[in-house]
Amino acid sequence: MQELNGTALEPDFRDRKTRLTVFGILQIILGVLAGMMVPFVILGMIATSVSGHETPEGVGLTSMIPAIMLYTMAAVWFISMGIGSLKTRRWARAIILISSWYWLVCGIGGFVFMLTMLPNMSEQMAAANNNNQMPKAAIIVIQCIMVGFMAVFYIIIPGLLVLFYRGRDVKATCEYYDPQPRWTDNCPLPVLGAAFACALWAFCMPMTGAGNWTIPFFGTVLSGITGAIAAVVLCLILVWTAWGLYRLDSKAWWAALLIFSGWAISAFITFSIVSTETYYEKAGMTEQQMEQIRRFDFLSNPSMKWAMLLWVVFALAYLFWIRRFFVHPSNPLSVESADQLV
């Protein structure tokens, strides 16, 4: 509470500290649930082995690494962000808002794509369970559960986070209880979001190692040593680009534009020449896994190609939208006004 001539002044905003605490606890719970999935994945494999059931061919620790890394990242992320919200840290509010926007946009895209794939999935599920004579009503129930789960986890939860953390009173509350300027205050939030995307991409590049470092590259597919070298180089470039975007370096903006457009062109050319089956084989998939992929091959679906095109257009449009912050780096749009854009 501020003071004027020894008299306490009430803040000119609605104190949202209690709600920040509630949202922080909810995120910590999400983190704990994500962390619990790691031992469940490992214990599931151990239980299958001990019980004497044969493990599906090609399913082992290596194939579980991406899932384990994903759950671990989610656990660390949600718990750390939840603690930041509990402590009303202004950096936590900024990062949660940025990540929630990405979560919501990607979730809406994934939800719409799943709806377009639902008829095909229904046919595949019916064919796969033809011998078991699963009732049609049971398949419908399973589909409703899938749609409901995705709606809650991909749209409702991130939507609530966006609506809450973008509020003026929430921002003012964090600044009131955490008056010290933080590192997130040095960069407009829209640009910080682009830097965040590059950093996340760089962090995820090592996951390609679980798939034999398979990377599409302008009409061919890199894998093994060459793929690993390409992944490391791209990872380093993305780290430099993320740091440059944070510092409002125009060279980093051009680098981001080249990376996103180059990756899109490379993927388009590659999958126009190379079959998805060849790509999966390069990734070290077994014949049993290939059979499952042939049944649910999302990459060869026309809807997937349109979805990829829309994501590329969105990414490039976003980069050109934030270009305004790099035109005059010595006098960029104020962080305060930029914060209202998200």
Task: Please answer whether residues 210 and 62 qualify as being in contact, where contact means their C-beta atoms are separated by less than 8 angstroms.
Answer: yes
- Percentage of the chain exceeding pLDDT 70: 74
Give the pLDDT confidence of 232-260 residue by residue, as tens digits.
999 999 999 999 999 999 999 999 999 99
Q: What pLDDT sits at residue 8?
A: 47
Q: Please count the residues of the chain.
A: 342
- Backbone dihedral region for residue 52 (phi beyond 0: left; psi -120 to 50: alpha; all else: beta): left
Task: Please answer whether residues 197 and 241 qualify as being in contact, where contact means their C-beta atoms are separated by less than 8 angstroms.
Answer: no
The whole model's pTM is what? Answer: 0.80
Q: What pLDDT sits at residue 6?
A: 46
Hey, is 215 helix, strand or coil?
strand
Q: What pLDDT sits at residue 33?
A: 93
Estimate to the nearest angstrom the gap between the alpha carbon of 98 and the chain centroid: 11
Give the pLDDT confidence of 278-322 residue by residue, as tens digits.
888 887 776 666 666 666 555 555 666 676 777 888 889 999 999
Q: Which ranges of the chain have pLDDT less than 50? A: 1-9, 52-54, 56-59
Task: Please answer whether residues 276 and 299 qualify as being in contact, where contact means their C-beta atoms are separated by less than 8 angstroms.
Answer: yes
